[in-house]
Amino acid sequence: HILKLGNSDELKQGMTVIAIGSPLGLKYTVTQGIISALDRTLEGHPGEGFIQTDAAINPGNSGGPLVNIKGEVVGINTAIIAGAQGLGFAVPINQAKWIMNEILKYGKVRRGKLGVVIQPLTPELAKHFGIDYGVIITEVQENSPASKAGIKSGDIIVAVNGKKVEKPNDLQKYIMRNPPGTTVLITVIRDGKRKNIKVKLGSWGEEYAINDYKELEEKYGLVVVDITPQIAQKYGLGKVKYGVLVYGVKYGSVAEDAGLRSGDIILSANRKPLKTPEDFWKEVVKAEKRGKSDVLLKIKRGSMVIYTVLPIIKDKE
């Protein structure tokens, strides 16, 4: 029986949903819950707008459907927060359909780049600027599409192509769903005045962009993220000079076989200190291309520092 794909834009908090999968190897498991929240953001996955549910999700549920009471697929079970209960997350099916269409048509997911650093508009900032919604630009990257178009630090983005921007995830979603080369209309508030600015979006331009990270994460069953001050505080990491945080390890993956755990800090890969997830994945891909069998990892786990090797998965010819 082929399940019908639903419309995740029609979801509302409190709706009943059912998660299907094989948690911990227990095949054909069905759990029921409600939609706890919508448009959630997870570290390392900007612009996705995850569905949050209290339906029991465990390792092995990933990739399984989240369905509504009509039997329509409204999401794809994706993640949990380690140590928490009733906090599961799924990719909205409309997002998955968009990604699928991009891959089928172009062979990859094309995501536009604006080139700004943003922060939410707090109530205090909103009162100061006399505006109810928007996101503040704290930094404009040099030679970025935003810089070339004349967007400035301190501008408040309130809309993209007429669509209201109320939080950072809105901006990330609207920008990333437009391919490089697309011209978008950015509405900003500058010095109390509304201003429309046309921006031609750029490309991420890196050898391995966000979509490639996701393919590698799925391949190795491993998610690593930047250690921001917020992450360091949340996990009680103290001062960390360098490294990336292991945010998730998939059950039965090579990452799990290598002994990696959520909460580990990977300090180096093949003796090269890591500062960003990109640094880590570049070392993995470099090992793949050079035909190496593994990558040597130096890990900080609590007060201990240990070494392990991550086996390289060779693509089938």
d(CA 257, CA 281): 18
Tell me: pLDDT of 292 over 60.
yes
CA–CA dist 112, 186 (Å, integer): 14
For position 44, what pLDDT does the model report?
A: 66
We find that the CATH architecture of domain 8-106 is Beta Barrel (2.40)
Which CATH number does the domain 116-200 belong to among 3.40.50.10320, 1.10.10.60, 3.10.20.30, 2.30.42.10? 2.30.42.10
Q: What is the per-residue pLDDT across 192-204, written as a single tens digit (0 to 9) for each? A: 999 999 999 987 6
**Percent of the chain residues past pLDDT 90, beyond the cut:** 56
Rounded Cα gap, residues 88 and 155, in angstroms: 35
Residue 207's pLDDT is 37
How far apart are alpha carbons 86 and 54 in whole angstroms?
A: 4
Chain-centroid distance of CA 293 in Å reads 28
Check for a shared fold between 8-106 and 116-200.
no
Tokens standing for 206? 């890196």
Band (pLDDT 50/70/90 cuts) for residue 220 is: very high
The SS3 of residue 254 is helix
| Domain ranges, ordered by start, for the chain | 8-106, 116-200, 210-311
- Dump pLDDT digits (tens) for 245-286: 998 898 889 999 999 998 899 999 999 999 889 889 989 988
Q: What pLDDT, on a 0 to 100 scale, did the predictor assign at position 209?
A: 40
Return the ∠ at Cα 196 (arms to 167 and 44), rounded to 5°.
30
Q: What is the mean pLDDT of residues 52-74?
A: 92
Q: How far apart are CA 179 and CA 86, in angstroms?
A: 36
- Average pLDDT in the 78-92 region? 87
For domain 210-311, give the CATH superfamily.
PDZ domain (2.30.42.10)
More confident residue, 123 or 230: 123
Q: Which residue has the higher pLDDT, 205 or 101?
A: 101
pTM for the model: 0.59
